[in-house]
Amino acid sequence: MARIRQAAIIGTAAVAVLAAGVSPASAATTTIRAGSATAAPYAGNVQASLLGVATVSTSIGSGSCEESTMTGSVNSDGTGLAIDAASFSGANGGPCSGSTSSTITAQNLPWTGGAVAHDPNGTRGRDASVTIANFRVQAVVDLFGGITCVFGGTLTADGFNGDNPNRPDTSNGQAQVGVNGATVSKQGGSWLCPSTATVTATYELQGESTPGSGTYDQALYVTG
């Protein structure tokens, strides 16, 4: 039974991509820029790509996803952050790993109501907070024909400019979102699924240098 419960929590690693979020209260004093503190404001499509491994833990076990990408859009003042597509998988596109495999599927897209907000106080060394609201993911664990777990809600995370020495991955020079011990909640599924899970992950954030191209090669920078 312990093995089944450990397997069931693997799916919650999916919400690590949702590794982004805090209240948009200060969005009015926020400007997202195209690569530096003095560059022109940026509005348009954005992509978050997982750096390293997204991990999730509960009182009954832990698991991880090694690949995750999320795409959406945001206004230059940080409002209107929406996620239109999201994917989560293990190495080489396979299931997320753990004591058994889990297939992760995003639900109820787009996820709207998010925001990026500059943090003038530099809380925890960050430059901004990022909110991804109204997310919902389903995980089907490969045991006894499939155990389904559904998780959703709003997550909070810290945003870092690419030149911030406090960013989670200092070997990467892009803007980053760091989720460190964020709690997500069960929204449905089997009784074997845990009621909460703790997520840790880091994502690289980029925009498009050519709007609508689908090529995410534009560095982003948040100022007040």
The model's pTM is 0.84
Q: Which of 13-17, 55-59, 116-120, 123-127 has the lowest mean pLDDT?
A: 13-17
> What would the mean pLDDT of 11-26 be, rounded to a whole number?
41
pLDDT tens, residue by residue, 61-80: 567 889 999 999 999 999 99
Going by the DSSP 8-state scheme, the letter that residue 203 receives in this structure is: E
**HSE-up (13 A, CA, CB side) for residue 17:** 30
Q: Is the pLDDT at 217 greater than 70, yes or no?
A: yes
Instruction: Compute the chain's Rg from CA coordinates.
Output: 17
In this prediction, residue 25 carries a pLDDT of: 40
In this prediction, residue 144 carries a pLDDT of: 57
Q: How confident is the model at residue 23 (pLDDT cuts 50, 70, 90)?
A: very low
218 within some domain: no
220 within some domain: no
Sequence letter at residue 59: S
Domain range for 131 is 2-33+49-206
Q: What share of the chain is helix, strand, coil (3-state, %, to 5)?
A: 10, 55, 35
Dihedral sign computed on CA atoms, order 48, 53, 98, 9? negative
Q: Which secondary structure element, helix H or strand E, spans residue 153, and what is its range?
A: strand 147-160
> What is the number of structural domains in the chain?
1
176 within some domain: yes
